[in-house]
Copies of this chain bind each other. A is one copy, B any other.
């Protein structure tokens, strides 16, 4: 491209607040010094929203990755109708839009993360066992609430945008192929290939929880036998680690508190908990080896309870993976733990919504 064209393009990005002048580079002895241009984008943000079994949340994040707004509301989502929950979510989204307008920050888009199968193009949640929704037009209902003058809304699966958040964190170090594997009651994977989210042709990629990797005697609520999450899901882990009447298996208590107790027991040498780590880590490694044989990612990022017990799992899972996967020079595929904890879906939804700025910067209005 001719220099004049580049100058014009950069000036336009600058006018939209997307880049700013950085330092001047004087490396070469000959010729004009080079003007470095940096990412700006402090007046541009996207909203990340989430619906989970325990509530809704919204954040606003600018191009620099700074969180400008954050609100979580505890709701018993499965007990409400989808319309009731989306009504509340629209209220918090409106609040976020208003707050950003008052700060003179442009919202370029919003992405809603949900647990379940989504039809990204239609903006529909096809099915979610966790919150009990089926064929819900999430984006359509939100648009009705929010009116016409809102930026583009997207719907995404919570695990997939978790993968986007993990990728955004390590992309600067050149990591472009990763699998984010979340361990909750269900098991799901978000797959990043060459820096892009892999959705599959109908949007169902990453549904790994029901791969038939467990004993064929076990029967899953989905109707199939031997589903992987029956062996390594949170419920299976708790059953291995404690008796039915043990307080750590009381579903009315907060999950992180219960997991914290099990961590203490393991540190005190409770063999049952240690064995539960060993058995779940073995099946986890076997499944990751299959994922690795297929996809050969550079990183496998563990989320959910796997990440909570990262210090116990990482070594066991890496060893199991190296012994089983076909990669010629282990450890070619590194297993790490997520650092986002339970906010990965919100962070990833915002990162996903921000992508449109990189794809088409002219969507950001001139001031």
Contacts and interface: CB of A to CB of B under 8 A. Distances in A.
B176 A208 contact: no
A126 B296 CA distance: 15
Given A117-B328, A126-B328, A177-B201, A211 B295 contact: no
A151 to B, nearest CB: 25
Interface stretch (A37-45, A283-291, A311-319): A283-291
Given A290-B211, A328-B126, A204 B296 contact: yes
Given A127-B328, A212-B286, A286-B212, A294 B202 contact: no
Contact of A295 (B176, B205, B296, B333): B205
Nearest to A174: B201
A278 to B, nearest CB: 17
Interface string A290-305: 1101111110000000
Give the interface size class of chain A.
35 or more
A191 interface: yes
A330 to B, nearest CB: 11
B294 A191 contact: yes
B177 A224 contact: no
A327 interface: yes
Contacts of A126: 328
Given A199-B296, A286-B212, A204 B291 contact: no
A295 B297 contact: no
A90 to B, nearest CB: 27
Nearest to A176: B201
A212 B176 contact: no
A242 interface: no
Interface string A82-120: 000000000000000000000000000000000001000
A297 B201 contact: yes
Contacts of A293: 204, 206-208, 210-211
Contact of A324 (B177, B224, B333): B224
Find the residue from A177, A295, A298 having the highest chain B CB count within 10 A.
A295
Can you list the 6 inter-chain pairs with the closest CB atoms, starting with the nearest? A200-B296, A201-B298, A207-B326, A177-B201, A205-B296, A204-B296
12 contacts: A176-B201, A177-B200, A191-B295, A193-B198, A204-B327, A205-B296, A211-B289, A211-B290, A211-B293, A211-B294, A212-B289, A291-B294
